[in-house]
Amino acid sequence: MSLADPKSVKVNITTGTGVDIEWKDGHKSHYAFQWLRDACPCATCSEERTTDGRKPGDPIKQAASLLPMYKPKLRPESANPVGKYAIHFKWNDGHESGIYSWDYLREHCRCSECHTPAATDKIQ
Ligand SMILES: [Zn+2]
Ligand SMILES: [Zn+2]
């Protein structure tokens, strides 16, 4: 697989809409902050996803008996590039272990062109 390389990266912390990446090949990707948090590539989150049988970005299943709690809308407190290959988020829920490589993000592009639910289901 070719190395993903962004031309521009926009992290919309103030508006809370997510991350917009335009790639060198002209492709554009958008990632919601909640999706990014649920797709955290760190060892702990990957393990939790494997245990729950979730794919990267799938929301954590909550027990139906639990009352919904008011939580501040998830967003990063800061976002910083890691070398030339990745981006790091410090989330407002205190988590900050995940390093999101451009490869990882491009692989999980959310656009309708790249993300067809049928194709993803087949892999499982
Ligand atoms: Zn994590
Ligand atoms: Zn795409």
Per-10-residue mean pLDDT, the chain, length 124: 83 96 96 97 96 93 67 90 96 96 96 74 46
- Residues 54 and 74: their CA atoms lie apart, in Å, by 19
Query: Number of folded domains in the chain?
Result: 1
Question: Could you tell me if residue 49 is inside a domain?
Answer: yes
| Ligand in closest contact with the CA of 40 | 1
Q: Could you tell me how far CA 86 lies from the centroid of its own chain?
A: 12
| Ligand in closest contact with the CA of 111 | 2
- Residue 31 belongs to domain spanning: 6-58+72-116
CB count within 10 Å of CB 32 equals 15
Q: How far is the CA of 41 from the centre of ligand 1 (A)?
A: 6
- Residues 115 and 123: their CA atoms lie apart, in Å, by 13
Question: Could you tell me if residue 24 is inside a domain?
Answer: yes
Which tokens in the block code for residue 16? 């809370």
CATH code of 112's domain = 3.30.2020.30
* Amino acid 64: pLDDT: 63
Question: Could you tell me if residue 35 is inside a domain?
Answer: yes
* Amino acid 41: pLDDT: 97
